[in-house]
Amino acid sequence: MKVELYNRIVASQLNRRSVLKGAASVSALAASGGLIPGMARADAHANLREQILAIPGVGMGSPTDADWQAVGELCLGTTRARFAEGEFEGVELTFMGLNNQNLHNFLFRGFLRPWEQYTGATINWIDLAQADYNARLQQSIATGTVDFDIIEMGAPFEGDTAGRGLLDPMPDWVKEDIDMDDYVGYLQEPVGTWAGETYRVSIDGDCHNFNYRTDYFDSEEFAAAWAEEGHEGPWEVPTTWQKVQEVSTFLAGKEDPFTGLQAHGYLDPLKGWGGFGFYFLASRATAYAKHPDDPAWLFDPEDMTPRVNNAAWVRAIQDVMDIMETQPADQINADPGTTGFQQFLAGTGSMLSWWGDIGSSARTSDTSVVGDVIGFSILPGSDDVWNHATQTWDVLPSGPNLSPNMAYIGWGIYVMARAAEGGELKRRAAWSAAAHLGGRDLSLWCSAYPSGFQPYRNSHFNIDEWEAAGYDRAFIEDYLGSEADSYNHPNAAIEPRIPGIFQYYSVAEDELAKIYAGEYASVQEGADAIAAAWDAITDQIGRDSQVALYRSSLGLE
């Protein structure tokens, strides 16, 4: 929604007074729960969800700070029910999080502004770019200078933080307030827990899904050319990486049906992204490397021997190399952010693996032009899968091997032990802020609008709510279906929650850059270099402890 348009609507319908009235009504309803029939409460709750999803309205442009504040205010009910006004007066908290694409912390500020006004607490902000995140966190830990009370953090870092006693265990009242039972299956324990304690308020459920351009695959012109060139099968969205390769090669030299510029197939982000770029190779590799009979796919669980140089990973890297000529110019200098937001959403390329942000931004971001021509599915599979035990390629009787990449396992809000050391009031304030951000209703809004987060609760998959918010039913069924298929897949590839995981990814990015630039004689040689570097990191961090934590994260011990 444009600012002026939003302001006009806010002035007539959703001004602060009416928002406060609405919030007061919601809290009054919650407070008088015993007197009001259950149906009425459910209706009020449904109304709240409907009300927040109308801010600013799908198709009305990117939300602004005023929208975030309005949503934060409407979702304050749980806080109001548990804490008195001004209860945290004088408490000062520091929050460390990201500022990617002006999302994450930008939203948190808006969501927490009404919380600050109500509770009396104040929050100081540490904003980090994605690529700076790992370094800032590691340095704080290693130098004993943790200067934040609340952190937005991914599960892969739990080994670095919870493993060192830096996090505060979640109080039971928070578990109640955020309704943890509503989380999708893979975000339930052991994710978010460490040695039996729960630490994480989930605000995101990460997986890479497959985004594609429907206009490409509906194109009769492409269909005719596909048949004419003698390709096997109809012209359709590829469901295996083998087909992705074939389609990408086919599209080279053709014209984009939407922009009229050069057509492109699958987009590979070829430049590193502070370690996060490695996930994009992993999304290509999981279908080859993650065998349904084996929980491991990155390292051997026995001794942390890297598998990144086995036949499956080498094949994935070779796939990238094979269609490099079909990529847009300068793709070798495009990181995942550029590829997702400046290329795919801006109309370049026809297929892309990314987190759910692409789907939630496609129709709600000002910079997206592909909202009406985008489709979603689970990541492609493979006709065969590498069997590490037998060292052979298996063809599964069930068909292509699918293994969605649960890349990063989603963002969560964690409270540091530092907050608890500041006294019980500060601890309660920190957890209250975390619970507000991880609330059931607020999270629905985050899933539906650009936020950096994707659906992660069972309650997020209610298509009717999305449709009422203005989403096209077919579009949202497609989008949420791809997410649900990934989350619930029995052969999902979940990364290890071990200390220093981003060191492995970062060094792999450096070596991959050399492989992509053709500086190794073969892909195998480059992959061997990654494996050697990974072994060195494991030895440096401590092989025994890494093996133990890795096995624990796989549920083997």
What residues make contact with another protein under the rule CB under 8 A?
131-132, 134-135, 138-139, 141-142, 160, 164, 261-262, 270-272, 274-275, 328-333, 335, 342-343, 346, 348, 499-500, 502-503, 506-507, 510, 513-519, 537, 540-542, 545
Cis peptide upstream of residue 56 (ω within 30 degrees of 0): yes
* Strand blocks (E) in 50-115: 92-98
Query: Up-side HSE of residue 72: CA atoms within 13 Å toward CB?
Result: 25
- How far apart, in whole angstroms, are the C-alpha atoms of residue 130 and residue 110? 20
C-beta closer to another protein: residue 146 or 396: 146
Minimum CB separation from another protein for residue 81, in Å?
Answer: 38
C-beta closer to another protein: residue 105 or 331: 331
Residue 43 carries which DSSP code?
A: H
Minimum CB separation from another protein for residue 166, in Å?
Answer: 13
C-beta closer to another protein: residue 309 or 331: 331
Minimum CB separation from another protein for residue 138, in Å?
Answer: 4
Give the residue from 361, 402, 358 showing the smallest Cα distance to 378: 402
C-beta closer to another protein: residue 36 or 541: 541
C-beta closer to another protein: residue 84 or 536: 536
Phi-psi region of 316 (alpha: psi -120 to 50; beta: other; left: phi over 0): alpha
Residue matched to tokens 């308020």: 201
Phi, psi of 409 (to 5 degrees): 60, 15
Minimum CB separation from another protein for residue 288, in Å?
Answer: 24
C-beta closer to another protein: residue 84 or 261: 261
Instruction: Tokens for 340, please give them.
Output: 């997702």
- How far apart, in whole angstroms, are the C-alpha atoms of residue 310 and residue 294? 15
Neighbours of 234 (CB within 10 A): 9
C-beta closer to another protein: residue 231 or 514: 514
Residues in contact with 376: Cβ distance below 8 Å, sequence separation at least 6, in sequence order: 209, 210, 211, 212, 359, 478, 479, 481, 482, 483
Minimum CB separation from another protein for residue 292, in Å?
Answer: 31
C-beta closer to another protein: residue 253 or 397: 253
Minimum CB separation from another protein for residue 499, in Å?
Answer: 4
Minimum CB separation from another protein for residue 309, in Å?
Answer: 17
Minimum CB separation from another protein for residue 132, in Å?
Answer: 8
Q: Which ranges in 100-240 belong to alpha helices (H)?
A: 105-119, 130-142, 158-161, 172-178, 214-217, 220-228
